């Protein structure tokens, strides 16, 4: 499968763009475990044009992340085109347009999935962004606004006519948000439309190797994108790829190995958010500054979402108080002491 001149292996796995999740610290972990394509967090076109530092920081790309896309959202065609030009200066492999974010603060302002109710504006934005940059432009969207307006089959053709090089479809409407089951049947209908010639990437409810393989085989998509299934579990990509290759489940990482990866991610988040750029080491190296270990750090707070969602600690009896303490910890010393104190749950069979 190719997007423009970017080649991917058979059955490629993409990491979905997620706000407050897919920063470099998390992306590099997912890449290490086999993600074939990475996406940045959502980049606001208006904030990028205003030169907001936090937004500019989202354009940071490390060489080992490639191929990678910068995803942009907004509602004004001129601003979106200008933002695409600015983002292109960061030299991503792809510019991706966010027509799928369902949250009220985005969709309610006519951006993201909100543009599913204003197709002329959506298509204008797409054309203008395609014409604004020389690198490939792709789109991520949903089935439609609600159950009464699942327009994706016709919309896909219109977006293709605008010049995009690939289309990612999340199998829910905006009204569903992230509730209910993703409907891949319409994703398959788009893929099997003989008038479509660009790659179609499916997204939604990819939480296991069996399900990923089913989506490839049943719906014929060119790639599968994994979002929430990767939060707190970046090794999901290696598990799925092993299953594709062997038909068997990969031996699970040990409990201590999983905890070590979570800790590595927290350290990388701290380095990304708390260490001044002039002092920062590469994200894969340890923090040796002893002062940081007892300091309240933004990277720890940022990493709480991954800790809360991680399956590592699921099923541990009487874990509620420990989880609360872990999610309230503000220093590396405190947090890692809590994580280290958690013991692997004893298999219930051994209790008898």
Cite the active site residues.
Answer: 101
DSSP 339: H
Distance between CA 330 and CA 310 in Å, rounded?
18
Residue 54 CB contacts under 8 Å (≥ 6 apart), including other chains: 47
Burial degree of 231 (CB within 10 A; 0-12, 13-18, 19+): buried
Take residue 233 and report the two structure tokens written for it.
Answer: 């579990």
Handedness of CA 217, 219, 225, 226 (dihedral sign): negative
Nearest by Cα to 307 from 296, 297, 299: 299
Helices (H), the chain: 24-32, 45-49, 53-57, 77-88, 104-107, 119-132, 152-161, 185-191, 209-219, 236-246, 255-273, 298-309, 320-328, 332-341
Choose among 73, 17, 23: nearest CA to 46.
Answer: 73
Backbone angles phi, psi at 248, to 5 degrees: -125, 155
């Amino acid at each position: 499968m190719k997007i423009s001149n970017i080649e991917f292996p058979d059955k490629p796995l993409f990491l979905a763009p997620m706000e407050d999740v897919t920063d470099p610290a998390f992306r590099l972990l997912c890449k290490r475990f086999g993600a074939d394509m990475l996406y940045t967090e959502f980049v606001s076109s208006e904030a990028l044009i205003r030169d907001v530092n936090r937004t500019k920081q989202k354009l940071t790309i490390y060489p080992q992340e490639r191929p990678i896309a910068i995803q942009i959202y907004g509602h004004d065609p001129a601003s979106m085109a200008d933002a695409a030009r600015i983002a292109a200066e960061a030299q991503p492999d792809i510019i991706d347009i966010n027509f799928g974010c369902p949250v009220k603060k985005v969709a309610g302002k006519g951006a993201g999935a909100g543009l599913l109710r204003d197709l002329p504006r959506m298509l204008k934005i797409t054309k203008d962004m395609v014409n604004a940059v020389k690198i490939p432009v792709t789109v991520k969207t949903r089935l439609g606004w609600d159950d009464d307006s699942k327009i994706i089959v016709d919309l896909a053709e219109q977006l293709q006519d605008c010049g995009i090089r690939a289309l990612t479809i999340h199998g829910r409407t905006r009204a569903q948000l992230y509730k209910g089951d993703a409907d891949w049947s319409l994703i398959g209908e788009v893929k099997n439309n003989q008038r479509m010639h660009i790659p179609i990437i499916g997204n939604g409810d990819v939480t296991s190797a069996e399900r990923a393989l089913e989506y490839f085989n049943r719906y014929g998509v060119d790639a599968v994108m994994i979002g929430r299934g990767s939060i707190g579990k970046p090794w999901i990509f290696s598990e799925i790829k092993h299953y594709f290759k062997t038909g068997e489940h990969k031996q699970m990482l040990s409990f201590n190995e999983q905890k070590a990866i979570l800790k590595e991610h927290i350290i990388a988040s701290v380095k990304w958010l708390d260490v001044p750029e002039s002092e920062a080491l590469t994200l894969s190296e340890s923090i040796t500054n002893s002062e940081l270990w007892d300091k309240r750090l933004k990277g720890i707070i940022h990493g709480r979402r991954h800790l809360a969602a991680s399956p590592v600690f699921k099923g541990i009896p009487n874990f509620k108080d420990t989880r609360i303490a872990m999610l309230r910890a503000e220093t590396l010393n405190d947090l890692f002491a809590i994580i280290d104190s958690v013991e692997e749950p004893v298999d219930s069979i051994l209790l008898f």
